Chain A
Amino acid sequence: DVKVTQSSRYLVKRTGEKVFLECVQDMDHENMFWYRQDPGLGLRLIYFSYDVKMKEKGDIPEGYSVSREKKERFSLILESASTNQTSMYLCASSLTTGAAYEQYFGPGTRLTVT
């Protein structure tokens, strides 16, 4: 079974703090993704990475950065957290080749910025 784990289920941070969200997958997937999930908006892609040290902006990258130093780990960084970044953050991974293009998701991190 593919496992995607996220470092925290719940996180509360103050405005202006630097926030790190960590994601680890154990199936040697090339691609990793960060989404935020908000009610009525579905999942919106923040960043994705198709290889170590490679990254691509998604639809809403402003205020976020990412780091992928190892294949299994993909970090989302909020340089200076703001209240409008209060959300559920989901990490996912997928293979690039073969029929298994589907994404596997982690349990999510619910971030509250006060």
Chain B
Amino acid sequence: AQSVSQHNHHVILSEAASLELGCNYSYGGTVNLFWYVQYPGQHLQLLLKYFSGDPLVKGIKGFEAEFIKSKFSFNLRKPSVQWSDTAEYFCAVRSNFNKFYFGSGTKLNVKP
């Protein structure tokens, strides 16, 4: 069965600190990879996605993620976080059958 692992369940950072959230998946075929964000009280929304090509993808609000095929990883990064980045972040994988698999989420608290 497919699985998506997010290693950090809860991360606390000060403003301006750098962020890296880990995501590993188990699927041998072609994958489409996503990071979604859920701000407090809001819908899940897409942060960025990888389909093919350049393994370094840039998303909204200064986020980026790197797809490393050999490590089955798709880690999310941001060089300098802001208080407004406080949210829960979900990594997701789409399989060939249009099914999406989500990680358990990482709650990020950014202290002002």
Given contacts A40-B9, A106-B43, contact A33 B100 (CB under 8 A): yes
Chain A residue, CB-CB nearest to B48: A102
Query: Which B residue sits closest to A39, measured CB to CB?
Result: B105
- Given the complex of chains A and B, what is the CA–CA distance between A35 and B44 in angstroms? 12
Interface of B is mostly: strand
Count of chain A residues with a beta carbon within 8 Å of a chain B beta carbon: 25
Indicate which residue in A31, A99, A106 contacts B98 across the interface (CB closer than 8 Å).
Answer: A31
Give the nearest-CB partner of A44 in chain B: B102
- Could you say which interface size class chain B belongs to? 20 to 34
Q: Report which of A41, A58, A96, A105 forms a contact with B99, defined as CB distance below 8 A.
A: A58
Residues on B with C-beta less than 8 A from A42 are 4, 6, 90, 102-105
- Contact A107 B99, beta carbon cutoff 8 Å: no
A58 to B1 CA separation, bound complex (whole angstroms): 12
CB distance from A88 to the nearest CB of B (A): 10
For the complex, is A101 an interface residue (Cβ under 8 Å from B)?
yes
CA distance A41 to B102 in the complex (A): 9
Q: Is the CB of A94 within 8 A of B102?
A: no
Closest residue of B by beta carbon distance from A105: B44
A40 contact set on B, CB distance < 8 A = 9, 104-105
Convert A82-114 into 0s and 1s, putting 1 for each residue whose CB lies closer than 8 angstroms to a CB of B.
000000001010101001011101111000000
Which residues of chain B (58-112) have a CB below 8 Å from chain A? 90, 92, 94, 98-105
Answer whether residue A78 sits at the interface, using C-beta atoms and an 8 A cutoff.
Answer: no
Q: Is A50 engaged at the interface, CB distance under 8 Å to the other chain?
A: yes
Q: Are B51 and A99 in contact (CB under 8 A)?
A: yes
Contact B98 A102 (CB under 8 A): no
| A56 to B97 alpha-carbon distance, docked (Å) | 10
User: Which of B90, B98, B101 meets A96, CB within 8 Å?
Assistant: B98
A48 at the interface (CB under 8 A from B): yes
Check if B103 sits within 8 Å of A101, measured CB to CB: no
Is the CB–CB distance between A94 and B98 below 8 Å? yes
**CA of A102 to CA of B49 in the docked complex: distance in angstroms?**
8
Residues of A that sit less than 8 Å from B by CB: 31, 33, 35, 40-45, 48, 50, 56, 58, 90, 92, 94, 96, 99, 101-103, 105-108
